[in-house]
Amino acid sequence: MDSIQSILSKLIAFQSITPQDAGCQDYLIDFLETLDFQIERFDQTPVSNFFARRGDTAPLLVFAGHTDVVAPGDESQWHTPPFTLEEKAGIYYGRGTADMKGSIASMMMATLRFIKTHPQFTGSLGFIITSGEEGEHFDKGTPYVMKQLHNQGIKPDYCIVGEPSSTALVGDVIKVGRRGSLSAKVLLQGKQGHVAYPHLAENPIHRLSPALAELAQYQWDKGNAHFPPTSLQMTEIHSGGQGGNIIPGDLRLHFNIRYSTEQTAAALKAAVINCFNKHQLHPSIEWRLNGEPFLTQNGRLLDSSVEVIKDITGRTPDLSTSGGTSDGRFIAPYGIEVIELGPVNATIHQINEHVASKDLEILSTLYYGLCEKLLLG
């Protein structure tokens, strides 16, 4: 008999360290096909993706999630084997229990219950599942799937992303947006030389330092009612190391900017380049736009989510845009209402990742309630 625990146990057993799926999606596809979902695979090596749909009319409600997990780290520090689901005192332990195989198990049980209870529901129910959310191959995951769906004329009306959004209690927070993320790899060439003859060399550390100090203290904006101020953080810097008497010949720097809807990627790039130009620097810069900011300020999905959470838990959720990025950033730009609703995020990516079993039961009930709210005409 299917249950959240049985589904989650199977999912945890697949060692789907990003970007590998390791069999999770075959299992999920088999599960959904028994419920008469139509499946379309959109694999992009090494990432696995699929889109599932039951129904062919509007509105289309989609659950979005990822089967990949981060590496477990030092397994000797785990209290339980990371790829075996173990339950202790009402707590499920295992890599992915919170991020986000627990959400997927809750989605599956909510879907099973909904279809058995309402086989002739209005509209369509779907899934977008990827194995490329956690790592560097994210562009081959949800962004690729959304492009293919767009080319086919398929546009979901509502999307619930199962990222672990809750802080202390399930449903205490709904993520209604995320900041944008812009990364850069900078290479500044100098001229190697002897430290005793600095006039014959050109030290890139000395040359770049004033610009870095300015960028680190720069006030990009003050944020707004939904987002904190834009922030630039240096994440890696390397130069020299060949000897105590050698002026280095180049410097490599990585930084990331998390930005609000007050900014655009183009404006941020221009500001950084202007700063370098001001200090007479002309480094090579490799930019990577990881995602634009998105915000669901209102709409039927958000209103329904707040109502369902109040009805089931008695709580009024906070609406937040805090935290890192999620695949919602690739879905919202198509004009789709997007929220993130998932379990407590206190142990995600940590040793001994875990989630309360009752939390997943509540989460599944919330998902079921949203299906009823949005797909029963």
Please report, for the domain that includes residue 200, its CATH number: 3.30.70.360
Q: Which of 26, 36, 40, 68 is catalytic?
A: 68
Both 70 and 144 in one domain: the answer is yes
| Model pLDDT, residue 355 | 98
Nearest residue to 312 (alpha-carbon basis) of 375, 361, 267, 244: 361
Instruction: Tell me which H or E stretch contains 329.
Output: helix 328-331
Note down pLDDT in tens along the chain; length 377 residues: 789 999 999 999 999 999 999 999 999 999 999 999 999 999 999 999 999 999 999 999 999 999 999 999 999 999 999 999 999 999 999 999 999 999 999 999 999 999 999 999 999 999 999 999 999 999 999 999 999 999 999 999 999 999 999 999 999 999 999 999 999 999 999 999 999 999 999 999 999 999 999 999 999 999 999 999 999 999 999 999 999 999 999 999 999 999 999 999 999 999 999 999 999 999 999 999 998 999 998 999 999 999 999 999 999 999 999 888 899 999 999 999 999 999 999 999 999 999 999 999 999 999 999 999 999 96
Both 256 and 356 in one domain: the answer is no
Both 362 and 339 in one domain: the answer is yes
Q: Which of 21, 99, 133, 337 is catalytic?
A: 133
Both 202 and 314 in one domain: the answer is no
Distance CA 298, CA 26 (A): 36
Both 188 and 283 in one domain: the answer is yes
Both 114 and 31 in one domain: the answer is yes
SS3 155: coil
| Model pLDDT, residue 317 | 97
Distance CA 49, CA 51 (A): 7
Nearest residue to 66 (alpha-carbon basis) of 36, 89, 96, 43: 96
Both 185 and 331 in one domain: the answer is no
Both 164 and 306 in one domain: the answer is yes
Residues 6+ apart with CB under 8 A from 7: 31, 104, 105, 108, 109
Q: How far is CA 193 from the centre of its chain?
A: 45
68 is catalytic: yes
Both 303 and 277 in one domain: the answer is no
Domain hosting residue 109, numbered range: 4-178+293-375
| Cβ pair 47, 137 in contact under 8 A | yes
Domain boundary among 291, 317, 342: 291
Both 128 and 271 in one domain: the answer is no
| Model pLDDT, residue 1 | 72
| Model pLDDT, residue 377 | 67
In sequence order, what DSSP letters do the residues of 176-230 get, joined into one string?
-EE-EEEEEEEEEE-B-EETT-GGGSB-HHHHHHHHHHHHHH-------SSSPPP
Distance CA 135, CA 325 (A): 12
Number of compact structural domains in the chain: 2
State the SS3 of 62-128. Answer: EEEEECCECCCCCHHHCCCCCCCCEEECCEEECCCCCCCHHHHHHHHHHHHHHHHHCCCCCCEEEEE
307 is catalytic: no
Both 303 and 159 in one domain: the answer is yes
Domain boundary among 274, 291, 308: 291
Domain boundary among 247, 264, 291: 291
Distance CA 334, CA 129 (A): 17
Both 330 and 269 in one domain: the answer is no
**What is the CATH number for 65?**
3.40.630.10
